[in-house]
Amino acid sequence: MIGLKGTMSVIDNSGAVIAECIKVMSGGRYARLGKLTEALLILDFSNLIHTLAGDEIVCVVKRARPINPSLIGTQAASLKVKKGDVRHAVIVRTKKEVGRPDGRYIRFDDNACILLNQKKEPLGTRVLGVVAAELRQKKWMKLVSLAPRVV
Amino acid sequence: MSTAAEAAPKYTAPASIQVPAEQFPAPKVTRKNLIDVVSQEQVQRANVDGRMELFSRKNPNRIQPGSVLLVETLNSKAKESTSTFMGVVIAIRRKGLETTFTLRNLVMKVGVEQRFALYSPMLKSIKVLQQAGSKDIKFRRAKLFYLRDQPGKAFQSLQSLWKQEQAEKVAAKKN
């Protein structure tokens, strides 16, 4: 449950380290990893409707990795963000437990997000860390394929 | 009284109600809490592969908090594919049919906790990789939430247990 001022770590290689939420795009007070809806009865992840996907937020980059100007040339370096940038992001891990349709609940030790560009594509080229399986929607398939581990 | 019962018409449920196939003899309900009787039968019906004994209070070989379990869950009722999760049991909540247990593991340095409903039909199997309660693997608490802040050595053996399990799987497939 990430709300206004909620901080989370950024787990891609865009350069940001910590981001702070400034707007929850779904319109609610908190952004969640997923929420149980009437889709509970469908015990099959592929049939779930989009409400169970990670919520999108707008965030401010609070801390970023320093951009070394002498290293410009690789694709990754050109995507780096700096402190104070406002970007869209998608929540990939929450400390608040998320219910799965089969009665399981899953909880991570921290909150994490992945920065996106205006076209809802990931800004970075790699994902560094675990990602929740709630992201296995058509929208975020690219993220899931980049993730080293999906739980 | 007996003649009145014999004379009464037999009750047939309407088609919309699913009557479960009779598996157990009619329970004795005199001087018993009816809800307890019903919930006990619910547990017995859900106890397909003997998972009730793993979590009962009196069984000397029950799973104790601190044990390492490997849980396999079906991804969907239609398909055979499963997902596995291994972790240390940090909490067992005994509530009849709604008994749940929580497993904690460190996945890529991030702590992940999963709470499983014991009698869920999507839970395929539970395998005990390391039983707690002996020698130095003894935890003096029922709920090990303190492991979130002070893990100590609790999660060190998980890597080797996972590798052992994978090796056993490969050996089983060969045979």
Cα A3 to Cα A51: distance, rounded to the nearest angstrom: 18
List A residues 38-67 in contact with B (Cβ-Cβ < 8 A): 43-46
C-alpha triplet A85, A91, A92: angle, nearest 5°: 125
H or E stretch at B39 = helix B34-46
CATH architecture of B34-170: Roll (2.30)
B33 sits in the region (left: phi over 0; alpha: psi -120 to 50; else beta) called beta
Question: Which pLDDT does position B88 carry in this prediction?
Answer: 96
DSSP state of A78: H
Reading the block at residue B44, the tokens are 């017995």
Of the spans A76-85, B85-94, B165-174, which averages the highest pLDDT? Answer: B85-94
Q: Which is nearest to B63 in space by CA: B4, B116, B5?
A: B116
Cα A63 to Cα A84: distance, rounded to the nearest angstrom: 8
Q: CA quadruple B110, B115, B121, B123: dihedral positive or negative?
A: positive
Of the spans A70-84, B14-28, B128-142, which averages the highest pLDDT? Answer: B128-142
Condensed to tens digits (0 to 9), the pLDDT of residues A102-129 reads: 889 999 999 999 999 989 999 999 999 9
Q: CA quadruple A89, A93, A99, A104: dihedral positive or negative?
A: positive
Strand B68-74 with A86-93, pairing: unpaired
Cβ contact B94:B55 at 8 Å: yes
Residues from chain A that touch B116, judged by Cβ atoms under 8 A, are: 103-104
pTM of the model: 0.83
Residues A149, B108: C-beta atoms closer than 8 Å: yes
- Residue ranges covered by each domain of chain B: 34-170
From the number of C-beta atoms within 10 Å of its C-beta (0-12, 13-18, 19+), residue A76 rates as middle
Residues B114, A105: C-beta atoms closer than 8 Å: yes
pLDDT exceeds cutoff 60 at A80: yes
Q: What is the percentage of chain B residues whose pLDDT exceeds 70?
A: 95
Average pLDDT, chain B: 88
B76 and chain A: CB distance < 8 Å anywhere? Answer: yes
Cα A122 to Cα A13: distance, rounded to the nearest angstrom: 10
Cβ contact B70:B124 at 8 Å: no
Question: Which pLDDT does position A36 carry in this prediction?
Answer: 57
Residue of A nearest to B80 (CA): A44
Condensed to tens digits (0 to 9), the pLDDT of residues B36-56 reads: 999 998 999 899 888 999 999
Cα B54 to Cα B52: distance, rounded to the nearest angstrom: 5
Residues A108, B120: C-beta atoms closer than 8 Å: no
Question: Which pLDDT does position A50 carry in this prediction?
Answer: 38
